[in-house]
Amino acid sequence: MARPAGYENLIKMKAFEVVAPTPGAIADFLRNAADYKTAAEE
């Protein structure tokens, strides 16, 4: 099965590489998750 064309660019940009989480990134992720939860409950 062939990959969708858009994936080739993501692979070249190393978008799927593992990155170390930083405290700021974790806080942003949790803030976004809370916002999504609030929006879903409205």
Predicted local confidence at residue 40, as pLDDT: 96
Is residue 13 included in any domain, yes or no? no
Is residue 32 included in any domain, yes or no? yes
3-state secondary structure the chain: CCCCHHHHHHHHCCCCCCCCCCHHHHHHHHHHHHHHHHHHHC
Is residue 40 included in any domain, yes or no? yes
- Count how many domains the chain has: 1
Predicted local confidence at residue 19, as pLDDT: 77
Is residue 10 included in any domain, yes or no? no
Predicted local confidence at residue 1, as pLDDT: 75
User: Which structural domain range is residue 30 located in?
Assistant: 18-42
Is residue 27 included in any domain, yes or no? yes
Is residue 11 included in any domain, yes or no? no
Predicted local confidence at residue 11, as pLDDT: 87
How does pLDDT run across 1-42, given as a tens digit for each residue? 788 888 888 888 888 888 788 999 889 999 999 999 999 999
